[in-house]
Structure 1
Amino acid sequence: MDDTRTRRRAFAADPPPASADASVSIDFQRLERLRRLSRLMDTRWRIPGTRIPIGLDGIASLLPVAGDTATAIVSAYIILEAARFDLPKSLLARMALNVGVDWLFGSVPVVGTVFDIAFKANRMNVDLLHEHLEQRLARQAADKQAAGW
């Protein structure tokens, strides 16, 4: 959880420089929307009396199959938005696998609800997106430095 909070602060606190293209700031806004949506789906609240985070995904799984299908559609939206960052197909496939596992095991009555509370597919997918973008930015900075910018 602290890793997610740290990442959020890093992206929110470090907006792109004013001389950057306008598309960069739109990308950061999209990234922030995806982070908020994943938090709503996976970790928005705490189960009373515990430190266990729960989101709409865990709550919706109380309705086996239907609830998990509805949340899988939201998860697919997160992947669609992530694809707009021009991610490699292998990374998008990994994200889709996370959602598929979440849907498959989450659809099992009773046990699926516990699984949905423990398995945070949306958070994992947004973390994968963050990691990829951080690596991409680091490569671009290294390329500029090597080129003598």
Structure 2
Amino acid sequence: MEHHIAQKLESIESLARLMDSRFKIPGTSLGLGIDTLIGIIPGIGDTVSLGVAAYIVHQSAKLGVSKPKLIRMSLNIFIDWLIGLIPLIGDLFDWGWKANNKNAAILREHLEGQDARPITEKTHL
């Protein structure tokens, strides 16, 4: 895999972690991200998060992810956004769903499928 593609993947994975799982709840292994925190703001928070998630899908399309996988990624963020609009229940769902991490994993799977070698900069989602 070309170095610039590996760097782009790392950047997208870092953004996904920031949005979904960057911060650990003290005393637990549970993580939450900015998406969960801003999702507390009804309507606005989930819509802002939708823009970041759409950026990840857009970048994945530019990196050659297939249409079926892009549809799966889009469905992940649509479900996240739609259920996230429901006060409290949506916030709890959003915390567990982690659509950005799922979509970054789909991108990694796609890129590793194009190259027989695993990407050495692999990170944990």
TM-score when scaled to structure 1?
0.75
2:31 equivalent in structure 1 = 53
Shift of 1:50: 2.7
Give the aligned residue type for 1:130: R
1:27 and 1:92 mapped to 2: Cα distance? 18
Determine whether 1:107 maps to 2:77. Answer: no
Task: Work out which of the two has the higher radius of gyration on C-alpha atoms and give 1 or 2.
Answer: 1
2:102 equivalent in structure 1 = 124
Percent same amino acid among aligned pairs? 41
Alignment of 1:75-94 (within 5 A): 75-94=53-72
Alignment gaps of 5+ in structure 1: 1-15, 17-23, 139-149
Larger RCO: 1 or 2 (CA < 8 Å, sep 6+): 2
Alignment of 1:61-80 (within 5 A): 61-80=39-58
- The number of equivalent residue pairs is 117
Give the aligned residue type for 2:21: T
Shift of 1:133: 1.4
| 1:137 match: secondary structure | coil
Alignment gaps of 5+ in structure 2: 117-125
Shift of 1:107: 1.0
Choose between structure 1 and 2: higher helix proportion. Answer: 1
What is the aligned-residue RMSD (CA, Å)? 1.4
